């Protein structure tokens, strides 16, 4: 059963994931997303109209969220947690300039200021058409808090969690939240650093890698806030579905890396078939993911022997702005752990995304960037040769991350990303990316010509890829 339903009254089709319209605040099915049905302005068709409508929708969203927050209950709870020290919340209002510091794509932050100068953040999930279902948001909140509490027992710098409450009628604050320390520092901007600055950051990141490698877990999944440290199911949208009764079902946890990978790719195949994803390129998306599924067993066969039933925590959104630094480039905190999970050592300690040469990567080239090489060399210098080798051999992990559930609607970049995967496997036949993509399509169509789902999707698209 689909995770979302189309918001058009009387429509029984699944709502398309990652295609919600924030302007009209609706999640629509593949049919009602078509331009003749969905007429909200877009950046391509009406940039000025889209900008104005987006700002209006954002203002309405934030004002609605603010109205739900019981400030009295929030400050009473925070004060009680600190033995009665009074605290206040600065007046909340929609201020576009201030949102740059208080809101991200998923979360909205409220400052809690104590009389003695201590400052906390109240981290609240946003609520709009693109938001995950409340029950999935609650799983994410609990897992994020469990992750932060585990990390607080290590030397990894993270904000301390003081309280958590899920969204529901029994919550007097009115919204789900995590109360945590407000860290000093600003998000790191990697591109602004010189070589000495980069080296200083990577030396600290190497220490964090080494620290996380000290804590293996027995399964792949997300940490679970169940009173004791344990690994539960994955809490990302891509791992969520509903059963026949409409109840939320999450994939995992997994004892084997191959089972984890196959479950995720198989779930993507199910979503493609049901038009929950890739409604405008279903046949092509199915073909890619069917091929990826068949690649997993031989690819993971030799890698699973390295895992030995031990998995490691990974920050799953490591674009660089999750690292807070001070003026001297000391890392004061790692934030935004909402989708963190345990995974294979090779995936957990592959180079963070912000170290990639973006142009080369999107052109399908797999050579290490100078920044990746710097991290590997630093790890070697401190005796972490295994982690250094993982960084140098991590490109296949990046390729899988960008191909499974990748942006296939971007016809200019996805073929090169996929060809990069085939090059890393050593099975690409042509140097020219376009030629290799077309060669693979033709070969895959021949190989999977009897796949019933592929044939059905091709009939729906008049036989075109």
Phi, psi of 459 (to 5 degrees): -65, -40
pLDDT confidence bin for 463, thresholds 50/70/90:
low
**Residue 246 burial by CB count (10 A; 0-12/13-18/19+): exposed, middle or buried?**
exposed
* H/E segment holding residue 250: strand 248-250
d(CA 6, CA 28): 4
Could you state, in order of their start, the residue ranges of all structural domains in the chain? Answer: 1-53
Q: Residue 464: its pLDDT value, please?
A: 60
Q: Residue 27: its pLDDT value, please?
A: 98
Q: Residue 305: its pLDDT value, please?
A: 61
Q: Residue 19: its pLDDT value, please?
A: 92
Q: Is 148 helix (H, G, I), strand (E, B) or coil?
A: helix
pLDDT confidence bin for 100, thresholds 50/70/90:
confident
pLDDT confidence bin for 146, thresholds 50/70/90:
very high
Give the other-Cβ count within 10 Å of 104's Cβ.
Answer: 14
Q: Answer whether the bond into residue 318 is a cis peptide, omega within 30°.
A: no
Q: Is 229 helix (H, G, I), strand (E, B) or coil?
A: strand
pLDDT confidence bin for 329, thresholds 50/70/90:
very high
Q: Is 338 helix (H, G, I), strand (E, B) or coil?
A: coil
Tell me the pLDDT tens digit for each residue of 250-273.
999 999 999 999 999 999 999 999
Determine how β-strand 119-125 pairs with β-strand 161-165. Answer: unpaired
Averaged pLDDT for residues 131-136 = 98
Strands (E), 301-364: 312-314, 323-325, 331-334, 341-343
Q: Which two three-digit tokens encode residue 161? A: 């969690």
Tell me the pLDDT tens digit for each residue of 62-87.
999 999 999 999 999 999 999 999 99
Averaged pLDDT for residues 18-36 = 96
* H/E segment holding residue 162: strand 161-165
Q: How far is CA 146 from the centre of its chain?
A: 17
Contact (CB, 8 A) for 371 and 352: no
Contact (CB, 8 A) for 235 and 141: no
Tell me the pLDDT tens digit for each residue of 45-57.
899 999 999 999 9
CA distances (Å), origin 293, targets 82, 153, 289:
51, 38, 6
Phi, psi of 180 (to 5 degrees): -145, 165
Averaged pLDDT for residues 93-119 = 94
Instruction: Give the dihedral sign, CA 355/206/379/304.
Output: negative
Tell me the pLDDT tens digit for each residue of 394-425.
999 999 999 999 998 888 899 999 999 999 99
> Looking at residue 232, what DSSP letter applies?
E
Tell me the pLDDT tens digit for each residue of 165-177.
999 999 999 999 9
Phi, psi of 36 (to 5 degrees): -70, -20
Q: Which two three-digit tokens encode residue 261? A: 């990978």
Q: Residue 436: its pLDDT value, please?
A: 98
Q: Residue 465: its pLDDT value, please?
A: 62
Alpha helices in 69-221 (DSSP H): 71-81, 96-102, 134-151, 195-212
Q: Residue 306: its pLDDT value, please?
A: 64
pLDDT tops 80 at residue 180? yes
Rounded to two decimals, what is the model's pTM? 0.96
Q: Which residues of 367-380 are buried (b: 16+ CB within 10 A; e: fewer)?
A: ebbebbbbbbebbb
Out of 36-50, 88-102, 435-449, 451-465, least confident range:
451-465
pLDDT tops 80 at residue 304? no
d(CA 404, CA 414): 11
Q: Is 242 helix (H, G, I), strand (E, B) or coil?
A: strand
Contact (CB, 8 A) for 339 and 318: no
Tell me the pLDDT tens digit for each residue of 360-383.
999 999 999 999 999 999 999 999
Tell me the pLDDT tens digit for each residue of 272-285.
999 999 999 999 99
CA distances (Å), origin 94, targets 67, 103, 222, 362:
11, 11, 34, 37
Tell me the pLDDT tens digit for each residue of 335-353.
999 999 999 999 999 999 9
pLDDT tops 80 at residue 226? no
pLDDT confidence bin for 227, thresholds 50/70/90:
low
Phi, psi of 123 (to 5 degrees): -95, 120
Q: Which two three-digit tokens encode residue 380? A: 């070697």
> Looking at residue 223, what DSSP letter applies?
E
Q: Average pLDDT, whole number, for the chain?
A: 96
Phi-psi region of 68 (alpha: psi -120 to 50; beta: other; left: phi over 0): alpha
What Rg do the C-alpha atoms of the chain give, in angstroms? 23
Q: Which residues of 294-316 are buried (b: 16+ CB within 10 A; e: fewer)?
A: ebbeebbeebbeebeeebbbbbb
pLDDT tops 80 at residue 312? yes
Residue 88's closest CA among 100, 102, 72, 103?
Answer: 72
Q: Is 444 helix (H, G, I), strand (E, B) or coil?
A: helix
């Amino acid at each position: 059963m689909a995770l979302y339903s189309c918001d058009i009254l009387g429509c029984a089709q699944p709502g398309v994931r990652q295609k919600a319209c924030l302007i009209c605040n609706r999640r629509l099915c593949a049919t009602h997303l078509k331009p003749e049905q969905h007429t909200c302005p877009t950046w391509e068709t009406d940039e000025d109209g889209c900008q104005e409508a987006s700002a209006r929708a954002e203002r309405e969203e934030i004002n609605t969220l603010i109205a739900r927050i019981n400030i009295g209950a929030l400050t009473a709870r925070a004060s009680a947690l600190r033995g009665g020290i009074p605290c206040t919340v600065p007046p909340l209002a929609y201020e576009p300039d201030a949102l740059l510091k208080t809101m991200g794509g998923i979360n909205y932050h409220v400052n809690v200021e104590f009389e003695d100068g201590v400052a906390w953040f109240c981290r609240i999930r946003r609520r709009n058409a693109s938001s995950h279902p409340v029950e999935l948001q609650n799983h994410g909140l609990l897992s994020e808090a469990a992750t932060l509490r585990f990390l607080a027992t290590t030397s990894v710098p993270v904000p301390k969690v003081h309280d958590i409450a899920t969204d529901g009628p029994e919550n007097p604050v009115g919204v789900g939240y995590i109360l945590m320390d407000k860290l000093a520092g600003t998000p790191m901007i990697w591109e602004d650093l010189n070589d000495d600055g980069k080296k200083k950051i990577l030396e600290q990141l190497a220490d964090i890698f080494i620290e996380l490698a000290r804590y293996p877990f027995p399964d792949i999944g997300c940490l679970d806030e169940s009173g004791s440290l344990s690994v539960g199911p994955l809490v990302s949208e891509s791992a969520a579905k509903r059963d026949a009764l409409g109840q939320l079902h999450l994939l995992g946890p997994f004892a084997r890396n191959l089972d984890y990978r196959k479950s995720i790719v198989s779930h993507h195949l199910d979503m493609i078939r049901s038009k929950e994803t890739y409604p405008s390129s279903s046949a092509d998306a199915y073909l890619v993911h069917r091929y990826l599924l068949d690649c997993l067993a031989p690819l993971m066969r030799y890698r699973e022997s390295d895992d030995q039933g031990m998995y490691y925590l990974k920050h799953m959104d490591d674009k660089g702005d999750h690292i807070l630094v001070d003026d001297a480039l000391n890392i004061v905190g790692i934030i935004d752990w909402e989708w963190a999970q345990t995974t294979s050592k090779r995936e957990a300690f592959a180079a963070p995304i912000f170290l990639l040469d973006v142009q080369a990567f999107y052109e399908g080239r797999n050579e290490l960037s100078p920044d990746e090489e710097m991290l590997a060399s630093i790890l070697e210098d401190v005796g972490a040769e295994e982690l250094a080798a993982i960084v140098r051999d991590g490109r296949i992990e990046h390729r899988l991350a960008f191909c499974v559930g990748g942006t296939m609607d971007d016809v200019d970049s996805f073929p090169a990303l996929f060809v990069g995967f085939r090059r890393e496997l050593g099975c690409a036949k042509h140097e020219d990316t376009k030629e290799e993509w077309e060669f693979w399509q033709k070969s895959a169509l021949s190989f999977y010509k009897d796949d019933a789902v592929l044939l059905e999707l091709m009939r729906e698209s008049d036989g075109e890829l």
